[in-house]
Amino acid sequence: MSAVTAEKNEQSHDDHHEHYEPFWKKYIFSTDHKTIGIQYGFTSLVFLAFGFFLMMVMRWSIAYPDRAVPLLADWPWFQAWLDDGGKVTGDLYNMFGAMHGTIMVFLGIVPLAFGAFGNYVTPLQIGAPDMAFPRLNMASYWLYLLGGVLMFVSFFLPSGAAKAGWTNYSPLATTTDIHYGNLFWTGQTQWLMGMVLLISSSLLGAVNFICTIINLRCRGMTWMRMPFFVWAMLVTGFLLLLAFPPLEVAALMQLMDRMAGTSFFVPTGLNVSGMSFDAAGGGSPLLYQHLFWFLAHPEVYVLILPALAIVSEVIPCNTRKPLWGYKTMVYAVMVLGFLAFIVWAHHMYITGMGPAISTFFQTTTVLISVPSVILITSLLISMWGGSIRFTVPMLFATAFIPMFGIGGLTGLPLAFSLADLHLHDTYYVIGHFHYVVAPGTIFGLFAGIYHWYPKITGRMMSTRLGHLHFWPSLIFMNGIFAPMFFQGMAGFHRRAFDGGKAYEQISTQVFSEPNSFLSNICEILHVIEPDAPLRMIDLNIITSGSAWLLAVFQVPFIINLFISAFKGRKVESDNPWDATTLEWATPTPPPHGNFASEPVAYRGPYEYSVPGADSDFSPQFESDPSSLAPAEEQTAKDEATAS
């Protein structure tokens, strides 16, 4: 097939050069969803790298609380936050911790997953010329950038950036830096301003996505012919749309608390540093937590669904098999989206909720693992019996499954309030959600980058560098996060800037058993630090070492990303992976307006190895003579069953 379409597209390339746009309009203030997607992509990768940098400093302080920070101690801004000996102070750790979380979640993963991939791929996959509201789309990006810049600039204020954790719990967050003369120009307040911008950006984006998916599907693109990626985007859009406003409320209220002196979240009789806090009181810190987690739980699905969806595009394409249980997955993702709204208080078991309500939340939390397991199992089964091509995206997609699995399964103990009493706020929790978002989501996103790169640039990324990126990343990701489970179960508290020196005594006992599984593992330590006494606390060294090495092995990726755009192997056709979905029907790279001729979806999204077909894939955009009903009739029928 591809020879024909490729030729056709080749011609249509030329008709699309009619209107030239000035540079700034084409690349900077662009309304083209693809350009905006790329803008989102680059910005968020920069923020991811920045969040990563913050984390590396934190990891130093955890592993070597007694040593001066290397390399950076002489940097003027930085040294002001260190103590005289050049060690990380609690303030700096809190600041970096809070901003690492915030940046990774709101400025890194969500914009990359939803903003970049969603923007670039969704309209292509449903055969739309652009998003429903291109200018709104541009506005979301610029709001996002503004919010990000505000967050970044807040580091350089006299008060530094926000320090109260990414959760920004009141009354801590309300009273942090309260001694500054002008509260507006403190990091804590700027965090709130930044959040208001980011939330507005996400809301605009969500409206746009949902509209596009509902109203701009091309001819023949019925609900059940939408690729799973589009479904995931739809659900993600709704999660953002309905979950973010309560956080906006919380941010506004906290802003009022800080700036106007209200006491929404300030309880009566609050004392701060031994002085009674000057506010009317009567507020409720718990209200903040409810509003925050009402967003933040759905937010974790916003973090994971796009990655999962990317993986479910990559897997069928590389196993040359249909996605197993496509319909089940669609329903599962909808159920998951629904349940995501009524589980939030599982983050709040230890706030003294009544047993009845906490039973409710335990039940819903356990329930939500059902659709999650359906999704991940379907992906696993999709690989069964396929003739797998282990391309680089496929490697990442394959690794995603067990990593996400570990993250998910270790979440189950946290769902039960009894177990959570012990595990809450320990490194176990850190390990759990990082397995989901770091080796999980980030691997999914890497898979997406390697997968769609040829469509975006017309060149393939280097496989060799890809391998050099993948294998060390896999190893070191686990090196970072696996030890956290053990430490957490031993009671290591999170957010301890000295890495839990206070736990030294407990940890000696745990490792005193010779030849236990753990102590054997910890022999690795002797490779790194020959004198290390092998205590639980010394696992920090493995974790931190892995984190820095992980950073080193992102270098091949960065090189690959830039060099391949110029030096990579040119794609031979518009569909280099022999994939089936509509984005591969466009010219490469797709022009403004996307499709050369009006796209039509003739069949389901994952028709690989259809018995009797000429090739092992039957793209959606290829008409199927044997199909019983023409596209329109099928549309009508599907709609009838859907409603």
451 part of the interface to ligand HEM, by CB under 6 A: no
- Which of 165, 245, 458, 568 binds another protein (CB under 8 A)? It is 245
Indicate whether 243 belongs to the interface with another protein (CB under 8 A): yes
Does the footprint of ligand HEM cover residue 163 (CB under 6 A)? no
Told to check if 424 binds Cu ion by CB under 5 A, we report no
**DSSP for 454-465?**
HHHHSBPPPHHH
CB 187, min distance to ligand HEM, A: 14
CA atoms of 587 and 595, how far apart (whole Å): 7
Q: How far apart are CA 198 and CA 147, in angstroms?
A: 5
101 binds, among another protein, Cu ion, ligand HEM, none (CB under 5 to 8 A by kind): ligand HEM
Q: Within positions 32 to 51, which residues make up the interface with another protein, using CB under 8 A?
A: none
46 contact, one of Cu ion, another protein, ligand HEM, none, CB 5-8 Å limit per kind: none
Rounded distance between C-alpha atoms, residue 535 and residue 532, angstroms: 8
Pull the structure tokens for residue 193.
């301003």
**Quick one: what does residue 291 bind among ligand HEM, Cu ion, another protein, none, with the CB cut-off 5 to 8 Å set by partner type?**
another protein
Binding partner of 262, given ligand HEM, another protein, Cu ion, none, CB within 5-8 angstroms per partner class: another protein
Please answer whether residues 69 and 52 qualify as being in contact, where contact means their C-beta atoms are separated by less than 8 angstroms. Answer: no
Return the number of the residue (178 or 565) whose C-beta is nearest another protein: 178
Please give the span between the terminal C-alpha atoms of the chain, in angstroms, as a whole number: 36
Which candidate, 208, 160, 167, 209, places its Cα nearest to that of 186?
Answer: 160
Q: Does 41 bind ligand HEM (CB under 6 A)?
A: no
Total Cβ atoms within 10 A of residue 289: 21
Tokens 């409810």 -> residue:
290
Instruction: Write a three-state SS string for 369-434.
Output: HHHHHHHHHHHHHHHCCCCCCCCHHHHHHHHHHHHHHHHHHCCHHHHCHHHHHHHCCEHHHHHHHH
Binding to ligand HEM (CB under 6 A) within 458-497 occurs at: 480, 494-495
Cα 579 to Cα 316: distance, rounded to the nearest angstrom: 9
297 binds, among Cu ion, another protein, ligand HEM, none (CB under 5 to 8 A by kind): Cu ion
Q: How far is the CB of 641 from another protein (least distance, A)?
A: 12
User: If binding is defined by CB under 8 A, does position 325 make contact with another protein?
Assistant: no
Q: Is 421 in the site for another protein (CB under 8 A)?
A: no
Q: Is 353 strand, coil or helix?
A: coil
Closest CB to ligand HEM among residues 283, 545: 545
Which amino acid does the sequence have at 409? L
86 binds, among ligand HEM, Cu ion, another protein, none (CB under 5 to 8 A by kind): another protein
Report if residue 430 touches ligand HEM, rule: CB under 6 A.
Answer: yes
Q: Is 219 left (phi over 0), alpha (psi -120 to 50) or beta?
A: beta
Among 59, 163, 258, 297, binds Cu ion (CB under 5 A): 297
| 282 touches another protein (CB under 8 A) | yes
For another protein, the binding residues in 346-385 under the rule CB under 8 A are: 348, 351-357, 360
Judged by CB under 5 A, the stretch of 161-169, 229-237, 295-303, 419-427 that binds Cu ion is 295-303
Please identify, using beta-carbon distances, which residue of 136 and 300 lies nearer to Cu ion.
Answer: 300
Residues in binding contact with another protein, number by CB under 8 A: 83
96/141 Cα distance (integer angstroms):
25
With respect to ligand HEM, which residue has the nearer C-beta, 292 or 584? 292
30: Cβ contacts below 8 Å, ≥ 6 apart:
36, 39, 138
For the bound state, the minimum distance from the C-beta of residue 69 to another protein, rounded and expressed in Å, comes to: 10
> Who's near 98: CB < 8 A, 6+ residues apart?
161, 162, 163, 164, 165, 166, 168, 191
The Cα 78–Cα 72 span in angstroms is: 7
Q: Which is nearer to another protein, 221 or 525 (CB)?
A: 221
Contacts with ligand HEM: how many residues (CB under 6 A)? 23
* Choice from 56, 172, 286, 380 touching another protein (CB under 8 A): 286
3-state secondary structure of 97: helix
Exactly one of 55, 63, 195, 379 binds ligand HEM (CB under 6 A); which one? 55
Residues 152-211 that bind another protein (CB under 8 A): 158-159, 178-182, 185, 203, 206-208, 210-211
Nearer to another protein, 263 or 462 (CB): 263
Contact 616, 320 (CB under 8 A): yes
- Region from 104-112, 188-196, 255-263, 308-316 binding another protein, contact rule CB under 8 A: 255-263
Cβ atoms within 10 Å, residue 407: 22
User: Of these partners, another protein, ligand HEM, Cu ion, none, which one is at the site of residue 357 (CB under 5 to 8 Å by kind)?
Assistant: another protein
| Residue 430 contacts which entry, ligand HEM, another protein, Cu ion, none (Cβ below 5-8 A, type-dependent) | ligand HEM
- DSSP for 262-331 reads --SS--TT-EETTEE--S-----HHHHHHHHHHHHHHHHHHHHHHHHHHHHHHHHHHHTSPPTTHHHHHH
* Residues forming the site for ligand HEM (CB under 6 A): 55, 58-59, 97-98, 100-101, 104-105, 109, 165-167, 303, 430, 434, 437-438, 442, 480, 494-495, 547
